[in-house]
Amino acid sequence: MIEFLQFAFLPATAVFSLLLGVVLLYWLVVIVGLLDTDFLNIDLHTDGDLGDVGDAGDVDVDADVDVGEAGDLGDVFHAMLSFFYVGRIPVTVLVTLMVFSLWILAMAANHAVNPTGGLLLGLPIAAGSFVASLFVVKVLGWPFAKLYRAMDGSRDGLKNVTGKLCVLLTAVGPGRTGQAQVATAGAPAVVNVIVEDGVTLERGSEAVVLEYRKASHVYVVAPVDLNAPARPVQGAG
């Protein structure tokens, strides 16, 4: 074990081991609940013939693409991003897959042809490992792309719930988040809900969805009759 750790922190492998440590630390923080898997997601919007690279993310990058050479370069760039699932898989997942594959490839290659961990051989090995890791990410990312596509499909069913009725599964009031069941194009969905100040809804009450607050990932709901107290729905809960 000691020899393995020593090899992992030789000049040719230390950078990859440190990157792996950062990734592991990040996922530990995610497990604890201090961060979320999509906090680094990027939403790339392109104007022109490029289309949208993806629609899930917190950072918007707008690029105006003109015709001619700029458009051709933009098409190539878009194709590269799409090939490696950028915009379809959270950036943090892609980075994790790349760092793990890069670390394994670099460790294996250095162990085979550069056991002393010198930089003379380590640098070209690093370059080759990086290129190879891109294609490893392409293979490993495929099931994740399918998973997130299915999840996005489920979220798409929630895009048009504003104005629809829902049934409270838990009580909700000022400063208190609850849950409600709302009908979608597919199976009914359970969503987190809040109410405006001065409104209280009991479990089993019927409410109407007013809006979605992206920052806090909750829906704002109100009694069906805004001038009357919420009424229980027969047979609910």
This prediction has a pTM of 0.56
CATH topology of domain 165-223: OB fold (Dihydrolipoamide Acetyltransferase, E2P) (2.40.50)
Q: Is beta strand 189-194 parallel, antiparallel or unpaired with respect to 178-182?
A: antiparallel
Q: What is the pLDDT of residue 1?
A: 84
Tens digits of pLDDT across the chain (237 residues): 888 989 999 999 999 999 999 999 999 998 887 776 666 655 544 443 433 434 434 444 444 444 455 556 666 776 777 788 887 788 888 999 999 999 999 999 999 999 999 999 999 999 999 999 999 999 999 998 888 777 665 555 566 788 889 999 988 988 888 888 888 766 777 888 999 888 899 999 999 999 988 777 788 999 987 554 444 433 344
Q: List CB contacts of 52: < 8 A, sequence separation 6 or more.
A: 43, 44, 45, 46, 87
Q: What is the pLDDT of residue 226?
A: 56
Q: Give the residue among 31, 41, 147, 27 at the shortest CA–CA distance from 99.
A: 27
Per the document, the length of the chain is: 237
Q: Domain map of the chain by residue range?
A: 2-155, 165-223
Q: What is the pLDDT of residue 213?
A: 85
Q: What is the pLDDT of residue 56?
A: 39
